[in-house]
Amino acid sequence: MTTASGKKLLTLAEFEALVEKLPEGERVELIEGEVVAMSPISDRNAGRILRLNELFTRLLGERAIVGIQGPVRLGERTVLLPDVIVLLRRPDFYETRLAGATDVLGLIEVADSSLSFDRGRKARVYATAGVAEYWIVNLRQDVLHVHREPSAFGYRSRTELRAGERVALNAIPDLQIEVAELLPPAP
């Protein structure tokens, strides 16, 4: 498929073939048929992702599958690599097919330089695909952005939480987490 501007939009199969040819370590996502280079990961960003992975793995145990920067397929032309993904538990651990929107209990992006992209285009893509819950750990302002109630026009519910507050994934309401555990420690 080609857009009105002449840009070729890739299918999932074309994207997978392209990824096979990329230099090792080059990170890209397929968003609405467009190949989008991912921002480099800073030390701070990488560390926060590892902390979140450890936290959710410890808290959820065998209740869900927790992964970092694993693929989620949101249609024929979109495959994203969220920083942290909490999935419904499946015996095959998604080896036979990529996780889709209905498998996702929650997605988390850790944002610094990518903040406007994560709050804008990515949030819209996640919402229109039906991802029930999307969180952004905002490293710039030490805030957790919680997006819920997806619609074709974006998330209807958007909340900012700070240290001192608690949060839970809607799919696992009994798992209350101190927001401070998700954010970088105060300087």
Q: What is the domain range of residue 128?
A: 42-182
Residue 20 is predicted with a pLDDT of 85
The answer to whether residue 64 is domain-embedded is yes
Classify the C-alpha dihedral 122-75-39-183 as positive or negative.
Answer: positive
Residue 50 is predicted with a pLDDT of 96
Q: Which two tokens stand for residue 176?
A: 């209350």
The answer to whether residue 79 is domain-embedded is yes
The answer to whether residue 25 is domain-embedded is no
Residue 1 is predicted with a pLDDT of 56
CA separation for the pair 141, 55 (Å, rounded): 21
Side-chain half-sphere of 82: how many Cα atoms within 13 Å? 32
Residue where the block lists tokens 């991912």: 38
**How many domains is the chain partitioned into structurally?**
1
The answer to whether residue 88 is domain-embedded is yes
Helix, coil or strand: residue 19: helix
Classify the C-alpha dihedral 37-42-44-50 as positive or negative.
Answer: positive
The answer to whether residue 17 is domain-embedded is no
Q: What is the dihedral of CA 60, 154, 102, 29, to 10 degrees?
A: -90
Residue 5 is predicted with a pLDDT of 56
For 134-174, what is each residue's pLDDT tens digit?
A: 999 999 999 999 999 999 999 999 999 999 999 999 999 99
The answer to whether residue 91 is domain-embedded is yes
CA separation for the pair 179, 182 (Å, rounded): 5
The string of DSSP codes covering 118-149 is IIIIIHHHHHHHT-SEEEEEETTTTEEEEEEE
CATH code of residue 95: 3.90.1570.10
The answer to whether residue 187 is domain-embedded is no
Residue 187 is predicted with a pLDDT of 57
Residues of the chain predicted below pLDDT 50: 3
The answer to whether residue 10 is domain-embedded is no
